[in-house]
Amino acid sequence: MPATSAIAPTTSVPDVLVLKNVSKSFHAGKRLIGALQAVSFAMQPGAVTGLIGPDGAGKTTLMRLVAGLLRPDDGEIQVLGIDVGKDPQSVQSSIGYMPQRFGLYEDLTVQENLDLYADLQGVIPRDRAKRYGELMRMTNLEAFRGRLAGRLSGGMKQKLGLACALVRSPRLILLDEPTVGVDPVSRRELWAIVYRLVENEGVSVLLSTAYLDEAQRCRDVVLMSEGRILHQGPPDSFSQPLAGRTFQMRVPGITRRTLMRELARRPEVVDAIIIGDDVRVVLDRASEAPKQVKGAFPDAVLEPVAPRFEDAFVDVLRSSKSESTQAPLVQPAAAVATGYAAIAKGVGVVTQAGGAVIEVKNLTKQFGSFYAVHDISFSVAPGKIFGLLGANGAGKSTTFRMLCGLLPISGGMLRVAGYDLRTARAVARSRVGYMSQKFSLYGNLSVMENLRFFASAYGLVRRKRSRRIDEIVREFGLESVADMNSGGLPLGFKQRLALAAALMHKPDILFLDEPTSGVDPLARRDFWHRINGLVDGGVTIMVTTHFMEEAEYCDELAIMAAGRILAMGTPAAIRHSAGTPAHPSPTMEDAFIHLIESSQRKVA
Amino acid sequence: MLPSMPVSARGRPRRLRGLIRKEFLQIIRDPSSIAIAFVMPVVLLLLFGYGVSLNAMHVPVAVVLEKPGPDGYGFAARLQGSAYFRTVMMATMQQAQQALMHRRVDGIVCLRSSFARDLTQPGGATIQVILNGVDANNARLVSGYVQNAWEGWASHRAAERGKPAPFSVHIEQRVWFNSQVRSRNFLVPGLIAVIMTLIGALLTALVVAREWERGTMEALLVTPVRLPELLLGKLIPYYILGMGGMTLSVLMAVFLFHVPLRGSVGFLFVASSLFLLAALGMGMLISTVTKNQFVAAQVAIITTFLPAFILSGFIFDISSMPRVIQIITHVLAARYFVSILHTIFLAGDVWPVLWPNALALAVMVMIFLGLTRRKSRKRLE
């Protein structure tokens, strides 16, 4: 796709950053992995340019090449008029750079970190007090100057990292995923700082992110996937081609999950995801597409909605994937959905007196005087998806570990499938599947060996084992990678394999701990299609996430912060609760921020 | 666009000062650095100074007199009176052998029934000594002590009777340098080399690798800081820390363990600096190549700490090692430093020994620091 930089304002200032045909590959064992392939783009001065793409798209490699930390195999990079290849030190002396792990010394205080970077950047002592004052005001860290950086919250660390990179007000600043792992409130603050920099100091910012919704906040967006630039332009230029192709849809008498599955099978549908009580559909370019959908679902209510950046991303990615010769990462949605009910068929639905499969009452977990989880209660009905949504450190993982019996509880009561998993026999455990946040399979075993191991671990032997493995491999589309080392698989495949392993013993309750962090939107959709198939077969799902949009897939949702549940209910109800006359239809993120802020006000 | 802020003209000294100050703050706040630099030397010195001794003392020995008589008792009493032995009288050889088997004794001294008679014969008498050879070092010592005791007794006996001793050979034993034959005098100076290896190589390897692991190095690289400044910013603080540990060790050696310090303190300082720089270079080289704390620690222990312990001549004499191992010891900086330490502490300024060793250290400093400089890049690859 051609790079469109027609919007660049007319200015005499030279381009802050120009890449021409830059390629870079790495050796991984014997294989050569192309991280960047003939990447070219120019950055506008005095604006925020967003480098957007899923994990493994090559964003960090690109940042490091620009910072002179890596050498391109091919091509040329000009930063502020300097050739990086020829004179990396000059570039490193004149730009600001915040790596993904923000380069803070955790055993130094906020002030000492600032002093170090001021010394390194050659800021003369006379100018320091004023600059420190500005930075501290901007980042709201004035009160924490004497605190060790390691004792700051994730968001505050991120802001301090930014302050350190800005201590000399560079003309170009590179921020590598500054908003990753930061709660929505801090994320908003970070963006405010970035805007202020651009406006007040004329800094040019290159910012990479895996959050697609942040594209809207950039002046110019460079969309990357698998080492290539798919498209460059202002955010609107991405969604423009989608005008009139995005709808919110509901059909009376058909559940949203069934509707989504049916829609995903249709050729004219590019994307179908659940949003609240409706299904959001993106149709293909053909003008008769809406009619075709209407024809298939005569009762359907189709409301046109404004396209979002993610719609564009999925659209661009789908077309780029089908053009490429390699096997598609994602199976056609139709095949995905049908296989699933078959797996779930063998699963018996748990019925209990109370009708709940998971029951939690006044659950508390204390570490010393610190409450990681404080007096929470909820219950999950069979065949439902229950989501725990919250920022890092909200207590989601602790709750999860207690439910799985991995962590003793400090107070309260919990039951999973009628048992306390911590004391229950193996029978109870065999009804639960668990997929952890990190890739918990053996990276140096092949896909097949991993599956065989997990099958044995769950007590499957001989005929039974090989039959079950065959089933799983077929249904998860793992045939093509069966003999490959699982450590080297693309993230989407790894995640599919992890899910396959968790389902090996046909559990009727499935715990998913941040299952889709880092995977691209297509793989995420593929994943949720599978999950929906399982739910249709009667499996109960308990999931944690910090993706606001993922929360929409849940039947019921609990929003957690500081160990407490702030709100619980259907996603739609939670969104509506944050509505104000001025802002009638808030997004899930708006609702989340609203809840957090009002709970903080209560505390203060 | 605003003009860039003025940049200090005195960039280099300011950057270096900033890096050094950062390093010291980290050292002060990190208990493990303090532990390696100051607590570990004290523990090792106390352990080796008091706990570990290569002198055999109160070795349990069975004494069998096949035919009790005044001569036999006299010799046995001589053994008993020595601080090296704790004697157990046994009636029969079988009994004694049993005791040796069960490790109740470490050796047997047997006087045959013909002992008293043979004493007066021209051929002389024989003492049978059976030793537990499992601990070869101990066995050698015990055998020496028995001989010592025997000679002492014989000369004593001769003097008593006013007759010359019944041997033609008169052994004059003298121990050089370590006249009290205290192993502590030998161990404690050598230990200084081990301690400085720990601070120089292990600690430095860890802290540099930590910067790579935590991503702080990546942030430092994209600043005006130059590579030599980064290296000096690590070298200088840990040089000071290492010399601090060395001073502590020397003070403990002299004032707590009363090890003599016969050579010049100035040369000790120069040699220690050279060795420390070699160790620091080694540590930085390891962490530059591995960039991972765990691997760096493993490599540092295997390539610097263990050889300094085993192959440097600190505990085991290099000249009694197999030829191949002896050749290998030449690549170890600790070998030269241990040799210097032993000489300076116990013998004094013996320049023909000190200069070649110091020169070898200087060459190693150049090799390791040079390699580190060459292997370091302001890049991630």
For residue A14, count other CB atoms closer than 10 A to its CB. 10
- Total domains present in chain A: 3
Pairing relationship of beta strands A301-304 and A358-367 according to DSSP bridges: unpaired
User: Residue B158: what are its φ and ψ, rounded to 5°?
Assistant: -65, -45
User: Which residues have CB under 8 Å from B51's CB, separation 6+?
Assistant: none
Query: Cα(A232)–Cα(A18) distance, rounded to whole angstroms?
Result: 13
CA-closest candidate to residue B286, choices B186, B350, B210: B210
User: Over the range A352-364, which residues count as b (16 or more CB within 10 Å of their CB) and which as e?
Assistant: eeeebbbbbeebb
Token reading at B269: 């300082």
Chain B residue nearest residue A176, CA to CA: B219
User: Which residues have CB under 8 Å from B47's CB, separation 6+?
Assistant: none
Cβ neighbourhood burial of B176 (10 Å; 0-12, 13-18, 19+): exposed
Token reading at A168: 């000399």
Cβ neighbourhood burial of B335 (10 Å; 0-12, 13-18, 19+): buried
Write down the domain spans for chain B. Answer: 32-52+182-375, 59-161
Pairing relationship of beta strands A385-389 and A556-561 according to DSSP bridges: parallel
Query: Cα(B245)–Cα(B237) distance, rounded to whole angstroms?
Result: 12
What is the arithmetic mean of pLDDT over A45-56?
A: 87
Residue A193 to residues A133, A197, A560: CA-CA distances in angstroms? Answer: 14, 6, 26
Tell me how far the alpha carbon of residue A193 is from its chain's centroid: 22
SS3 of residue A580 by DSSP: strand
**Cβ contacts of A13 on chain B, cutoff 8 Å:** 1
User: Residue B51: what are its φ and ψ, rounded to 5°?
Assistant: -80, -50
Higher pLDDT, A466 or B10: A466
Contact between B379 and A104 using a beta-carbon 8 Å cutoff: no
Query: Cα(B307)–Cα(A58) distance, rounded to whole angstroms?
Result: 44
Q: Which of B1, B221, B223 to mutate to test the interface with A (most CBs of A within 10 A)?
A: B223
CA dihedral sign, ordered B16, B18, B19, B23: positive
DSSP single-letter state for residue B319? G
DSSP single-letter state for residue A542? E
User: Which residues have CB under 8 Å from B300's CB, separation 6+?
Assistant: B201, B202, B205, B206, B282, B283, B286
Query: Cα(A148)–Cα(A479) distance, rounded to whole angstroms?
Result: 51
Token reading at A547: 């993706």
Q: Which of A312-316, A339-343, A456-460, B276-280 has the highest mean pLDDT?
A: B276-280
Q: Does B30 touch chain A (CB under 8 A)?
A: yes
Query: Cα(B336)–Cα(B305) distance, rounded to whole angstroms?
Result: 15
CA distance A398 to chain B (A): 25
Across chain A, what does the average pLDDT equal? 83
Radius of gyration of chain A from its Cα atoms, rounded to whole angstroms: 25
Contact between B18 and A170 using a beta-carbon 8 Å cutoff: no
Domain boundary pick from A199, A233, A267 = A233
Residue type, A453: F
- Both ends of chain A: CA-CA distance in Å? 52
Q: Which of A111-125, A453-467, A525-539, B115-129 has the highest mean pLDDT?
A: A111-125
| pLDDT value, residue A13 | 56
DSSP single-letter state for residue B252? I
**Helix axes of B265-290 and B293-300: crossing angle, nearest 10 degrees:** 140
Domain of A140: which CATH number?
Answer: 3.40.50.300
**Cβ contacts of A164 on chain B, cutoff 8 Å:** 219
Do A175 and A255 fall within a single domain? Answer: no
CA distance B277 to chain A (A): 25
Q: Are A434 and A417 in contact (CB under 8 A)?
A: no
DSSP readout, A222-256?
A: EEEETTEEEEEE-HHHHHGGGTT-EEEEE-TTS-H
| pLDDT value, residue B133 | 65
Which member of A92, A112, A168 has the closest CB to residue B222? A92
Q: Does B226 touch chain A (CB under 8 A)?
A: yes
Domain boundary pick from A326, A357, A389 = A326
- A386 in a structural domain: no
Alpha helix stretches (DSSP H) within A484-587: 491-502, 521-536, 571-577
CA distance A127 to chain B (A): 9
Respond yes or no on whether ipTM tops 0.90: no
Q: Are B18 and A120 in contact (CB under 8 A)?
A: yes
Using 50, 70 and 90 to split pLDDT, how confident is the model at A71? very high
**Helix axes of A462-475 and A447-457: crossing angle, nearest 10 degrees:** 130
Q: Which helix (H) or strand (E) holds B123?
A: none
Q: Does A70 touch chain B (CB under 8 A)?
A: yes
Query: Cα(B243)–Cα(B239) distance, rounded to whole angstroms?
Result: 6
Do A259 and A120 fall within a single domain? Answer: no
Higher pLDDT, A208 or A179: A208
Domain boundary pick from A457, A479, A506 = A506
Query: Cα(B146)–Cα(B63) distance, rounded to whole angstroms?
Result: 12
- A222 in a structural domain: yes
DSSP single-letter state for residue B198? I
| pLDDT value, residue A326 | 35
Do A67 and A170 fall within a single domain? Answer: yes
What is the arithmetic mean of pLDDT over A479-497?
A: 81
- A575 in a structural domain: no
- A2 in a structural domain: no
Range of the domain at A26: 17-233
Q: Does A92 touch chain B (CB under 8 A)?
A: yes
- A401 in a structural domain: no
CA distance A89 to chain B (A): 7
Q: Does B21 touch chain A (CB under 8 A)?
A: yes
CA-closest candidate to residue A164, choices B219, B9, B29: B219
**pLDDT, tens only, A430-454:** 788 888 877 677 888 888 999 999 8
| pLDDT value, residue A215 | 84
Higher pLDDT, B125 or A117: A117
Query: Cα(A59)–Cα(A210) distance, rounded to whole angstroms?
Result: 9
Query: Cα(A298)–Cα(A105) distance, rounded to whole angstroms?
Result: 62
Do A185 and A300 fall within a single domain? Answer: no
Q: Are A472 and A503 in contact (CB under 8 A)?
A: yes
DSSP readout, A354-375?
A: TS-SEEEEEEEEEETTEEEEEE
For residue A572, count other CB atoms closer than 10 A to its CB. 15
Q: Which residue has the tokens 């024989």?
A: B126
Residue A481 to residues A226, A227, A431: CA-CA distances in angstroms? Answer: 19, 22, 28
Q: What is the CATH number of domain B59-161?
A: 3.40.1710.10
CA distance B379 to chain A (A): 4
Residue type, B323: R
Token reading at A132: 């420190």
Do A93 and A29 fall within a single domain? Answer: yes
Do A66 and A179 fall within a single domain? Answer: yes
| pLDDT value, residue A40 | 94
pLDDT digits (tens), chain B, 381 positions: 344 445 555 678 899 999 999 999 999 988 888 888 888 888 888 888 776 666 667 778 888 888 888 878 888 888 888 777 888 888 888 888 888 877 788 788 888 887 777 777 776 777 788 877 666 566 677 777 777 777 777 777 777 776 655 543 333 444 444 545 466 777 888 889 988 998 889 989 998 999 998 889 999 999 999 999 999 999 999 999 999 999 999 999 999 888 889 899 999 999 999 999 999 999 999 998 888 899 999 999 999 989 988 888 887 777 777 889 889 999 999 999 999 998 999 888 889 889 999 999 999 999 999 999 998 888 887
Token reading at A467: 């039959």
CA dihedral sign, ordered A450, A451, A456, A462: negative
Instruction: Flag whether pLDDT at A479 surpasses 90.
Output: no
Q: Are A527 and A499 in contact (CB under 8 A)?
A: yes
- A259 in a structural domain: yes
Alpha helix stretches (DSSP H) within A305-354: 309-323, 333-345
Which member of A64, A100, A119 has the closest CB to residue B18? A119
Do A479 and A499 fall within a single domain? Answer: yes
Q: Does A119 touch chain B (CB under 8 A)?
A: yes
Radius of gyration of chain B from its Cα atoms, rounded to whole angstroms: 28
Domain of A277: which CATH number?
Answer: 3.30.70
- Both ends of chain B: CA-CA distance in Å? 35
Q: Are A553 and A583 in contact (CB under 8 A)?
A: no
Do A89 and A185 fall within a single domain? Answer: yes
| pLDDT value, residue A324 | 42
Q: Which residue has the tokens 């589309």?
A: A477
Conformational region of residue A467, where left means phi above 0, alpha means psi within -120 to 50, and beta covers everything else: alpha
DSSP single-letter state for residue A104? -
